[in-house]
A and B are shown apart, each in its own frame.
Chain A
Amino acid sequence: METAVEVRDLVVTRGRRPVLHGISCTIPRGSITGLLGPSGSGKTTLLRAVVGVQVVAGGSVTVLGEPAGSPRLRRRVGYLTQAPSVYADLTVRENARYFARLHGLGAAEADRVLGAVGLADAAGQLVGTLSGGQRSRASLACALIGRPELLILDEPTVGQDPVLRNELWEMFRAMAADGCTLVVSSHVMDEAARCDRLLLIREGRLIADDTLAGIRAAAGTDDVEAAFLNLVRARATTPVSAEGGAR
Chain B
Amino acid sequence: MNPTILAATTGRILRQLRHDRRTIALLAVVPTALLTLLYHMYADQPTAPGQPSAFDRIALVMLGVFPFIVMFLVTSIAMLRERTTGTLERLLTTPLGKLDLLFGYGLAFGLAATVQAGLAAGVAYWLFDLDTAGSPGLVVLISVVDAVLGVALGLLCSAFARTEFQAVQFMPVVVAPQILLCGLFVRRDQMAGWLGAVSDVLPLSYAVEALQEVGRHAEPTGTMWRDLAVVGGTIVVALVLGAATLRRRTG
Taking beta carbons and an 8 Å cutoff, which residues of A are in contact with B? 14, 51-55, 69, 74-75, 77, 79, 81, 83-91, 94, 98-99, 101-104, 126, 142
Contact = CB atoms under 8 A, between A and B. Distances in A.
B153 to A, nearest CB: 23
Interface in B66-92: 85-87, 89-92
B217 interface: no
Given A52-B249, A54-B249, A103 B95 contact: yes
A103 B4 CA distance: 10
B116 to A, nearest CB: 19
A86 B87 contact: yes
A94 B15 contact: yes
10 contacts: A52-B248, A53-B93, A81-B86, A83-B85, A89-B16, A98-B8, A98-B12, A101-B8, A102-B5, A142-B90
B13 to A, nearest CB: 9
A69 B16 contact: no
Interface in B116-146: none
A99 B8 CA distance: 9
Contact of A79 (B5, B8, B90, B96): B90
B90 A55 contact: no
Interface residues of B, number: 25
Nearest to B90: A85
Contacts of A53: 89, 92-93, 248-250
A42 to B, nearest CB: 14
A101 B249 CA distance: 23
B20 A87 contact: no
A84 B90 CA distance: 10
Interface string B238-251: 00000000001111
Given A88-B85, A101-B8, A77 B19 contact: no
